[in-house]
Chains A and B, each alone.
Chain A
Amino acid sequence: DTEVTQTPKHLVMGMTNKKSLKCEQHMGHRAMYWYKQKAKKPPELMFVYSYEKLSINESVPSRFSPECPNSSLLNLHLHALQPEDSALYLCASSPRVGGAENEQFFGPGTRLTVL
């Protein structure tokens, strides 16, 4: 199984809502990533988890709260988002964080709209 799955595919939420994005992989990878991609722009790294511990936070606002409950699962909890947070949220995984040869496997993304 070389797939990264993300749910939901689409999400519409109001600025006062709390929602969560879910990402799952069963490749035994110990590094997992969240990226944000605005329309017609390249993906931008948000968070990196290594062995279930947060290792990189790219100065992301606290209204985005990542969680890695186990080695296969990565969540992104959303609270009090702004309309400018509307974007495609991509999850990725790789065997480990280190190693310049490491290939990252991406999921299809969750298309988030904040009203």
Chain B
Amino acid sequence: DAKTTQPNSMESNEEEPVHLPCNHSTISGTDYIHWYRQLPSQGPEYVIHGLTSNVNNRMASLAIAEDRKSSTLILHRATLRDAAVYYCILRGLAGGTSYGKLTFGQGTILTVHP
């Protein structure tokens, strides 16, 4: 499986933007980049995904490098409720070893200060 690398932890202040980086230098052309987050005492929840182009939704934006070897999850205005572990995950198409699987790395622990 293609691997992702994320910083162990990051800190932010409330109301400020947060940029969470993810490196995936061995990504294949058919791998989608997914982000999930896990709030304390809850199951993971889907945040956003993309393939090549930048993506926006109501929760966040995903910026994907032109060579696709890295991506950045952007929370435009962090709130205390955004404090969570953020996971960057690659998902492949049928026939690959990652087919059907969501393989979580260690993730980034985001702390948001009031």
Chain A interface bracket (under 10, 10 to 19, 20 to 34, 35 or more): 20 to 34
Contact of B100 with A98 in the complex, beta carbons under 8 Å: yes
Contact of B100 with A48 in the complex, beta carbons under 8 Å: yes
Contact of A100 with B44 in the complex, beta carbons under 8 Å: no
Q: Is A42 positioned at the interface, with any CB of B under 8 Å from its CB?
A: yes
Q: Is A43 positioned at the interface, with any CB of B under 8 Å from its CB?
A: yes
Closest 9 CB pairs of A and B: A106-B43, A42-B104, A97-B100, A100-B32, A100-B91, A103-B46, A106-B44, A90-B43, A100-B93
Q: Is B16 positioned at the interface, with any CB of A under 8 Å from its CB?
A: no
Task: Give the contacts of B33-51 with A (CB-CB under 8 A).
Answer: 34, 36, 38, 41-46, 49
Q: Is A21 positioned at the interface, with any CB of B under 8 Å from its CB?
A: no
Contact of A92 with B99 in the complex, beta carbons under 8 Å: no
Contact of B100 with A104 in the complex, beta carbons under 8 Å: no
Chain B residue numbers with a CB within 8 Å of A100 are 30-32, 91-93
Could you tell me the distance in whole angstroms from the C-beta of B71 to the nearest C-beta in chain A?
Answer: 15
Contact of A101 among B36, B43, B49, B103 (CB under 8 A): B49
Q: Is A31 positioned at the interface, with any CB of B under 8 Å from its CB?
A: yes
